Amino acid sequence: MKPNEVTGNIVAFPGKKPQQIGFDRMELQRILDLYGRMVAAGEWRDYAMNFTRECATFAAFRRTADVPQMRLEKRPALRNRQGMWALFGEQGQILKRGHELAGVLAPIERRLVKAVDD
């Protein structure tokens, strides 16, 4: 299947909803690059991904049996509103929303720089 701007990454047949939303290769590369750097800094140890009809989710954990320290959601249905990307904190609060992945990941990037400098 080829990418489609309307549904995110999966082409939907006319009149049907997509089976699931996913991350494209560049998005996943950016997310996993950040994850690898956070693992190297000793901040994260595990991750999980979930793909549904409405959103694709990436969650990073400090410990395996813990609540996610960070959760990133991609919701293409919100693309024309507040942006399809949302970053959630440990207690479920929204840390950042936006149209661009790089801007939404900025708070985590800043925390990484601070952790490496300490």
Q: List the pLDDT tens digit at each of the 118 positions of the chain.
A: 444 444 455 555 566 666 788 899 999 999 999 999 999 988 899 999 999 999 999 999 988 777 889 999 999 888 888 889 999 988 889 999 999 999 999 988 887 776 666 5
The single residue listed with the structure tokens 């959103």 is: 55
Classify residue 77 by burial, with Cβ atoms within 10 Å: 0-12, 13-18, 19+. middle
> For residue 103, what pLDDT is reported?
92
Give residue limits of the domains in the chain.
25-99
> For residue 31, what pLDDT is reported?
94
* Long-range contacts, 27-34 (Cβ 8 Å, 24+): 27/74, 27/101, 30/101, 30/102, 30/105, 31/58, 31/72, 31/101, 31/105, 34/105, 34/108, 34/109, 34/112
pTM: 0.78
